[in-house]
Amino acid sequence: GAPNACQACHGNWSEQALLAHFEKRFGKEPLSSWAMVNHEAFQLNSLALLDIATIAQQANIPPIRRASLLAQGVNFPSRLTLETLQSMLHDPEPLIRVAAAEAAGFLSAQDRLAVLQTLITDESKVVRMTVANELADTLPSAPAATLPKLHALFAEYENSLRLSEDMPGTQINLGTYYHRQGDLASARKAYQQALIIDPTFVPAMINLADSYRASGDEVEAEKSLQRALVIAADSGAAQHALGLLYVRRQQLDRSLVHLKLATEQVDATPRFSYVYAVALDSVNNRNAGIEVLVQAEKRWPNQPQNLMLLINYLDQQNRTMELLTHLSSLSRIMPGDPGVRALVAKYTNQ
User: Could you report the per-residue pLDDT of 269-324, keeping only the tens digit for each?
Assistant: 999 999 999 999 999 999 999 999 999 999 999 999 999 999 999 999 999 999 99
| pLDDT exceeds cutoff 60 at 105 | yes
| pLDDT tens, residue by residue, 69-104 | 999 999 999 999 999 999 999 999 999 999 999 999
Average pLDDT over residues 206-233: 97
| pLDDT exceeds cutoff 50 at 50 | yes
Average pLDDT over residues 190-215: 97
| pLDDT tens, residue by residue, 126-181 | 999 999 999 999 999 999 999 999 999 999 999 999 999 999 999 999 999 999 99
pLDDT cut 70: percent of the chain above it: 90
| pLDDT exceeds cutoff 60 at 27 | no
What integer best gives the mean pLDDT of the chain? 91
Amino acid 31: pLDDT: 46
CB atoms within 10 A of CB 245: 21
Average pLDDT over residues 225-242: 98
| pLDDT exceeds cutoff 90 at 244 | yes
